[in-house]
Amino acid sequence: MKNKLTGNRYIMDVGVLKTELFFETDESMVFTVIDGGSLTKDGYSERVEITIAEVRAQVYMIAWKEISGATVTHVEDHKKGIIYSNATLPDGSFYTMKGTISPVQD
């Protein structure tokens, strides 16, 4: 295991979008939309190949490309519970979002 995210689930809430992120392996993540707002439909789930870079202890930059062609980059500060998300959709629209990230408690 290259990072402390692998095997864990987190809830990301940026206001207009709420998702569960499951870091399946060091190279793959499954995201499931809990509340898609106006961006996507609730319940949508997709497995994506990811790259993870640890910026400093408990702060990660994660990037991926979705089946739709959308690209996403997160900076996740797990110490402070803050997430910065940038997404470019297939139509070229660009979203910058900030919100919270917290571990799923079993």
pLDDT for residue 105? 82
Q: Within a 10 A sphere around the Cβ of 45, how many other Cβ atoms?
A: 11
For the record, the structure tokens of 15 come out as: 């206001």
Q: Return all residues near 46 (Cβ < 8 A) that are at least 6 apart.
A: 30, 31, 66, 67
What's the chain's average pLDDT?
A: 94
Q: pLDDT, tens digit, for every residue of 27-53?
A: 999 999 999 887 778 999 999 999 999
pLDDT given at position 87? 94
Residues paired with 106 in a beta bridge: none
Residue given tokens 């900076």 in the structure block: 75
pLDDT grade, residue 70 (50/70/90)? very high
